[in-house]
Amino acid sequence: MNWRKYVKIIHRDLGYIFFGLTVIYSISGIAVNHVDEWNPNYKIENKTFAITPNPDSSAANETMIAYVIEQLAITDTVKNVFRSGPVSIDIFFENKTVNANLLTGNVNMEIVNSRPVIRETNFLHLNAPKKLWTYVADAFAFGLIILAITGLFMLKGKNGITGRGKWLTIAGVLLPLIFLLLYI
């Protein structure tokens, strides 16, 4: 059995094993690459409302909450509350927060919804779980190095590393180097 056969076996099996992780890391990679343009984990919607002002700074939180949710016709259960000022209050619901100013009647409602799949891929890609996942991610990174190296020697002949593969490999190495020279 020649060495190239082992290279192919290693490349093939690592490819199977790391298929899922490669897809996860790639999706998250694209998502977090554009973090300045969008929130990769949440869809945040802000709505503004105008309610009838009721500036009673001595009003208890419960009175203020009842007034705001009645004005906005909210039926969700109140999770918590924070009195941010004498006539302003933050009311927390399961996936929304209402900031109401009873002096002006201005209300901002922030509705937060998780981006399914993408958020989970980011969670793993950015190593939020830490602990054991750190070792899985390390193994994946090491596996990618093995995949890259074995990939170079899979084929022989004109499409192998001594032929066309050589030029494509050089191009692939030059690409990040050019950007490093341009931006550093």
Partner 1 sequence: MKRIINAALVLMLAATMLYAGDGKKYGNDLTLKETTQVSDILANPEKFEGKKVLIEGTIVDVCPTRGCWIDISSDKEYQTIKVKVKDGEIVFPMEAKGKTAVVEGEVYSFVPAVQEESKHAEGEKMEKANKTECGDKTAEGGCCSGETKVTKVYQIKGLGAVIKS
- Binding-site ranges for partner 1 (CB under 8 A): 35, 39, 41-42, 44, 79-80, 82-86, 90, 92-93, 95, 97, 112, 114, 126, 128-133
**Gyration radius of the chain's alpha carbons:** 27
Q: Shortest approach of partner 1 to residue 138 CB, angstroms?
A: 15
Q: Shortest approach of partner 1 to residue 75 CB, angstroms?
A: 17
C-alpha dist (Å) from residue 146 to 25, 26, 49, 80, 153: 17, 18, 57, 51, 11
- Across the chain, the runs of DSSP E, i.e. the strands, are 42-50, 80-85, 88-92, 96-101, 106-114
* Comparison of 9 and 44: residue with beta carbon closer to partner 1: 44
* Comparison of 3 and 16: residue with beta carbon closer to partner 1: 16
Q: Shortest approach of partner 1 to residue 176 CB, angstroms?
A: 22
Question: Which H or E run contains 144?
Answer: helix 131-152
* Comparison of 111 and 155: residue with beta carbon closer to partner 1: 111
Tell the burial category of 125 from Cβ atoms under 10 Å away from its Cβ (0-12, 13-18, 19+): buried
In angstroms, rounded to a whole number, what is the distance separating the alpha carbons of residues 90 and 79?
11
Q: Shortest approach of partner 1 to residue 70 CB, angstroms?
A: 20
Helix (H, G, I), strand (E, B) or coil at 6: helix
* Comparison of 46 and 159: residue with beta carbon closer to partner 1: 46
Question: Which H or E run contains 10?
Answer: helix 3-17
Q: Shortest approach of partner 1 to residue 132 CB, angstroms?
A: 4
Q: Shortest approach of partner 1 to residue 59 CB, angstroms?
A: 13
* Comparison of 63 and 95: residue with beta carbon closer to partner 1: 95
* Comparison of 56 and 90: residue with beta carbon closer to partner 1: 90
